Amino acid sequence: MTRDADQAVACTRLVYAFGETTAVDGLDLTVAKGEVFGLLGPNGAGKTTAIRCITTLLPVPARMVRVFGRDAAKDAMAVRRLLGYVPQQLSADASLTGRENVALFARVFDVPRKERAERVGQALTAVDLTDAADRLAGTYSGGMVRRLELAQALVSAPRLLILDEPTIGLDPIARTGVWEHINAVRAATGMTVLVTTHYMDEADQYCDRVGLMHHGRIRALGTPAELREGLGERRRAAGAAATDPLPTLEDVFRDIAGSGLDEKSGDFRDVRSTRRTANRVG
């Protein structure tokens, strides 16, 4: 343990390259205990790579990533035990029931045998899937699958929940449902949440702080209100009228990422990942 055990996540000049492509390029990021932190950025900004470094799925040198003070390079098992992770790609098995899917995660994450059945039931209740728990996941809607994956991540009672685009491909009602369940668990447990999303309205509404990532690094950091007000001030200093509407978080995003947001809708990787989610139990 180190002095920064008060920080849920601390990345210090984190660098990660795939061959010639530097996906994360000197990322400095701290997530405080108990907060909901949103990592935003255009496609290819390096968000998923950063998250995979934090979850220890990608190897990093010592002193670049700490989770509650544990070094991801030196103490990977301890880091894994502290976190729950909902990846972008499908992690539920369509041929198992909801309960069996969550029970599998309980075994993998070493939930004590005697407590397993109860903890699986609690995780399913937390995401409102009790009634559907004994149906095959293959019969679930997209929103139910996302909630099931949330239960899988919650069954080990993580201190840090990491979600990579938890609501991509869901309709607005299902999106709200996912967030309500995240918030309810957070209120009950004090868990820290690190989330990536492309939905600016969600970041604005649900995140305590956001970091806008571009080309592998954080380019703007603050509460959604601070970032919006900061852009408003810069615009007024540049001659905008005081009566102009306040900027949105999307305006802040465009200001930093330029055309990145526009490219998103036609981007192959984005389309693929949206489809993957939409068809995830197909």
Are 86 and 162 contacting, i.e. CB atoms less than 8 angstroms apart? yes
Q: Which residue, 44 or 166, is less far from ligand ATP as judged by CB?
A: 44
Cβ burial of 154 (10 Å; 0-12, 13-18, 19+) is buried
> Minimal distance in Å, beta carbon 165 to ligand ATP?
7
Q: Which residue, 44 or 177, is less far from ligand ATP as judged by CB?
A: 44
Q: Which residue, 119 or 198, is less far from ligand ATP as judged by CB?
A: 198
User: What is the DSSP secondary-structure string of 138-160?
Assistant: GGS-HHHHHHHHHHHHHTT--SE
Q: Which residue, 70 or 198, is less far from ligand ATP as judged by CB?
A: 198
- With the CA atoms of 10, 8, 2 and 75 taken in that order, what torsion angle do they form, in degrees rounded to the nearest 10? -80
> Minimal distance in Å, beta carbon 113 to ligand ATP?
36
> Minimal distance in Å, beta carbon 23 to ligand ATP?
3
Are 214 and 43 contacting, i.e. CB atoms less than 8 angstroms apart? no
> Minimal distance in Å, beta carbon 39 to ligand ATP?
8
DSSP β-ladder status, 160-164 and 192-196: parallel
Q: Which residue has the tokens 């934090």?
A: 54
Residues contacting residue 79 through CB under 8 Å, at least 6 positions apart: 55, 56, 67, 70, 71, 72
Q: Which residue, 13 or 269, is less far from ligand ATP as judged by CB?
A: 269
The HSE-up count of residue 103 (CA atoms within 13 Å, CB side) is: 13
- Nearest to residue 84, comparing CAs of 6, 187, 189, 192? 192
Q: Which residue, 74 or 269, is less far from ligand ATP as judged by CB?
A: 269
Residues contacting residue 30 through CB under 8 Å, at least 6 positions apart: 4, 7, 9, 10, 11
3 state DSSP class of 232: helix
Are 161 and 191 contacting, i.e. CB atoms less than 8 angstroms apart? yes
> Minimal distance in Å, beta carbon 151 to ligand ATP?
23
> Minimal distance in Å, beta carbon 42 to ligand ATP?
7
Q: Which residue, 2 or 21, is less far from ligand ATP as judged by CB?
A: 21
Q: How big, in percent rounded to 5, are the helix, strand and coil portions of the chain? A: 45, 20, 35
Q: Which residue, 106 or 162, is less far from ligand ATP as judged by CB?
A: 162
> Minimal distance in Å, beta carbon 17 to ligand ATP?
8
Under the rule (CB under 6 A), what is the footprint of ligand ATP? 18, 21, 23, 41, 43-49, 269-270
> Minimal distance in Å, beta carbon 269 to ligand ATP?
5
